[in-house]
Amino acid sequence: MDYYIVDTFTNSLFTGNPTGICVLTSPLTAEVMQKIAEENRYSETAFVLKMNDRYFLEFFTPEEEVPFCLHVTLGAAYIIDHFLEHDIQTLYIDTKSGSLEVQCNRESYQIKSSAFAYSPLDEEENIYEVLGTNPKESYLSRDLVFLLDSPQDVIQLKPNFEKMKQLSDGLGVVVTAKGEDCDFVSRCFFPKLGVNEDMATGSSHCILAPLWASKLGKNKLTAKQLSPRLGRLDCEVQGDHIIIEGNAVLYLKGEIQIP
């Protein structure tokens, strides 16, 4: 089975979010895919299978399958564009959470996805124990989103991941602040999925982009994810949809031996 490692939401190796992309010629069982993802230890590994003129993607963290992952979709689009197709411009990808449309130009990739609704949240009593700080605003969406005062507060945050796992709401925890050299910054944590900190998270920007578009009064935004590897994303809010654009860089091409 052909296997690739791609750094996503970056144009430089060893930055952004690394992901494993497995190109299938026939379906694998969920058990085998989970074992491969566990062996890889990336936040997510994708399994790509062509079905007629479309591609089907499945996503696995080291601990469980997830239905939706945009940085891996970006990595898969890069591999399809460079190794599996020729001069493709529009790519249609099916997942267990629905279909995604990707515009490809070999330099960057634009993924169209649904925006995530969010609502204000009364601060949870133990959030200081989780974050080590009290946020200025709190929101509930797929993830818990906490607004901090500055990018420096985002960078310096040292969460308690064991306590974060115990939060009843949210798949993950996202902290964000208004940017200084971009529109907004963030960090994203998913200890419930076995990923303490994700390096560059496309799906959380389906929450962050509409939130900051409302705050800043603009629909095109630049974003940085201030993880140790630094991710860069461009976002455009189009009503109920988000266009998330980013680059990708190939790190490795190899082969996985499946018995």
Would you name the residues annotated as active-site residues? 44
Distance CA 213, CA 202 (A): 16
What are phi and psi for residue 149, nearest 5 degrees?
Answer: -75, -35
Paired tokens of 47: 């399994």
Q: Report the b/e string of 105-137 with b at 16+ CB within 10 A.
A: eeeebbbebebbebeebeebeebeebbebebee
How many CB atoms within 10 Å of residue 97?
Answer: 14
Residue type, 18: P
Asked if residue 214 lies in contact with residue 196, where contact means CB atoms within 8 angstroms, the answer is no
Q: Which residues contact 71 (CB under 8 A, 6 or more apart)?
A: 8, 9, 16, 17, 19, 43, 44, 198, 200, 201, 202, 231, 246
Q: 143 vs 81, 87, 124, 140, 205, CA distance in Å? A: 31, 37, 14, 6, 11
